[in-house]
Structure 1
Amino acid sequence: MKKFVLFVMLMMSVSSLWAQKRWSLTPEMGMTAIKRGGGAHPAEQRYNARWKVGVGVEYAVKPDVFSLKSGLYYTQRGYSFHSMSYGGYYSVSGQNDNTFGEMWYKTNRHFLQVPLMANFSIRLADDVRLNLAAGPYIAYSLGDKGLAEYSEYISTGGKSFGYGYSYGSNNYTYVGGNDGYLYGSGCAGQGFRSEGWTHDNPLDWGVSFQVGLEVRQWVINVGYDASLGKEYKWDSASLKYHTFSLSVGYKFKLGK
């Protein structure tokens, strides 16, 4: 009986060591380029730079051939745009005056993201491997910060505006973009600024794709995430963000 118990304990120890050799941890850090998928304003669909940092976990189902990848990452999503509008008219002292308005908007969502990807590994050379991975992810927002600002200006010069301008804190002087003509002076008619944190719909989900180059234990990953979850409670599930990432990490193989 004692021999049997010792044998079972030995087999469990060997199995534990073998399993440990299949696990690895990869701290990663990089940047992302994010584009909104279906924004109402064309400027919302421009790429914005954000950060990505976290620790990847990998289990080799078949060493050097097939593995499962997961991990915990801090990443961001959001968009920003600046727009200008021209052509409004106000009557000041019996004269029609040109106006223009400016609007700034920015939102930044802070996520903890957990992917689950199937990874296929291809040997390119000694100590050099190509990794191809794909799978779903889920994410939880720690908070969403939004900034909105609108200002409207009135010209007393009665001429059309160009695209360039400069202004002080109280009295404004507008400088046109067409040969730098002076268009007149005036003051800010109205405006507002709103800034704060929200947490409308913290859950997000989507699919991830990744191509990685592993040189010894250094890893360079190029990834793409398609965000499909609802951004707000009244929203519908659809493609919200395209996220391209470039990160660098170092793989620690456990059990060796």
Structure 2
Amino acid sequence: MHSFNHIHHISSKYLAFIYESYQPVFVLNTGRSGSAFINNLLQNIPDIKSYHEASPTLFLQSNYAYHHQDKIEVLQKMFEVARIELILEASIKNRFYVESNQCLVFFARQIKSLFPKAKFIHLTRHPGDFITSAIKKGWHKNDSVWESGRIKMKDAEAWAKMSQIERLGWVWEKTHSYIEDFKSLHTRDFMTIKLEDLTKKPEYIDILLEFIGSENKLDAKQMDTILHRKINEVKISNEPKNMHKLATYPAYDNWHSSDKNVMKKFVSKSAELYSYIL
């Protein structure tokens, strides 16, 4: 048991112990897939320190990380600089560090190298529902710093010719394919869960907490409140002209068949793996 009240007091021995033995947990997903929901429910658990896109978010670095997986030391140091103090803070308070952040997906290998005990939650969502939500947020249409950092094809000319649905279908498939490749190397340290199950079947919340390592549970009232609360809805206020959010967009079931077929060209492989009906 340590006796540190502040991270500035941490000894070199304890720091080495944290790198070797601490078990942070990271929720890997495409974004617009329930990461804010997970963070919201974990805020009620006393032995967990949960973040949704902790600061610095690293939103400008996702595409760089995706296309430069060979820059192992660079990516590892980027992550370490951004997160080590938050992780140390959680550790000296005897809490599990959990972060839900789409921007960290392509740092997963470096996270595992830095923290060998790290665990990962692979969160999926139906691709049509993801794309609907992302279109409402203006993904791959806004002119913003977030868009600058989103993963995209290396071939800029081919990318420029793609529709928004095509781009988002590509993002969904490439993100999950990357996670699956990484997961295959660390199956014991992974939990895969569908947002659709997590939000409709309370028993999955208990499974999630057990995987993280927490001995706490939510009571029935807390569970009901969380499951019926809308989280991270698209909000449009005084948006500048470079933003292209939409207040409404048809649910996937109401899409035109031609749009569904466009999406299917990109997502069919992983959608079948997760048993999503297209």
TM-score by structure 2 length?
Answer: 0.18
* Higher RCO (CA 8 Å, separation ≥ 6 residues): 2
Q: Computing the radius of gyration over CA atoms, which structure comes out larger, 1 or 2?
A: 1
Higher percent of residues as helix = 2
Higher percent of residues as strand = 1
